[in-house]
């Protein structure tokens, strides 16, 4: 178990939740465990993309989140440790999309309560993994995740600024310099 209480074993994370009782944009979230496993263990780009859309179409809708997103984040974060390269970028894209979405919407009765702050807190569990992915692969989703984490986890402000400053000088981040500079400007 991680120091902050979050389990990082993918199977344990799936079993922690009653997915049939969690609300989503498709009613319940019973289909998510198999889609999450398909994404984490995807052996091809095509299978990863298919699993990504299966998850997205259930848990997220046009910038809105559903109740099942918090457990989804926990499972995706645990899955990053085990993900094949095919699924890794899609996992990070989903986490970035969740961090960028909002939880205040009129259909809360239909999709249940959700907190972006809670989701951001769950993402902090693998902070170093997101940083490594940014440094090694220049993944733009990691910039978004780090920026949103800083908004919801203000204790990380100085650290996130240092990481983004460093990334400006990395060859791996050459294609995302504009995004990094904009994010640094947002941090002040």
120 domain-assigned? yes
Question: Tell me, what's the pLDDT at 106?
Answer: 47
166 domain-assigned? yes
144 domain-assigned? yes
Question: Tell me, what's the pLDDT at 78?
Answer: 86
Range of the domain at 150: 10-187
Percent of the chain with pLDDT over 90: 47
Most confident of 77-86, 111-120, 150-159, 170-179: 170-179
161 domain-assigned? yes
Q: Is the pLDDT of residue 168 over 90?
A: yes
Apex CA 151: angle with CA 147 and CA 153, to 5°? 105
pLDDT tens digit sequence for 51-74: 999 999 999 888 788 899 999 998
Number of structural domains (the chain) is: 1
Between the alpha carbon of residue 119 and those of residues 31, 67, 73, 80, 181, the distances in Å are 20, 11, 6, 15, 25
2 domain-assigned? no
178 domain-assigned? yes
1 domain-assigned? no
40 domain-assigned? yes
Question: Tell me, what's the pLDDT at 4?
Answer: 36
- Within 8 A by CB and 6+ apart from 156, the residues are 124, 127, 146, 149, 150
């Amino acid at each position: 178990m991680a120091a902050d209480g979050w389990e990082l074993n993918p199977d344990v994370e799936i079993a922690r939740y009653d997915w049939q009782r969690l609300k989503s944009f498709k009613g319940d979230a019973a289909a998510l465990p198999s889609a999450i496993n398909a994404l984490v263990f995807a052996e091809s780009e095509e299978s990863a993309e298919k699993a990504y859309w299966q998850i997205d179409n259930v848990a997220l809708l046009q910038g809105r989140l559903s109740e099942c997103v918090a457990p989804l984040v926990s499972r995706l974060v645990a899955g990053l440790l085990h993900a094949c390269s095919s699924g890794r970028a899609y996992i990070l894209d989903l986490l970035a999309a969740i961090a960028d979405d909002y939880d205040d919407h009129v259909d809360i009765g239909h999709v249940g309560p959700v907190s972006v702050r809670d989701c951001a807190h769950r993402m902090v569990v693998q902070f170093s993994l997101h940083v490594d992915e940014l440094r090694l692969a220049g993944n733009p989703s990691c910039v978004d995740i780090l920026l949103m984490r800083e908004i919801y986890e203000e204790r990380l402000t100085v650290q996130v600024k240092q990481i983004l400053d460093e990334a400006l000088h990395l060859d791996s981040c050459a294609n995302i310099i504009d995004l990094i500079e904009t994010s640094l400007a947002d941090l002040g």
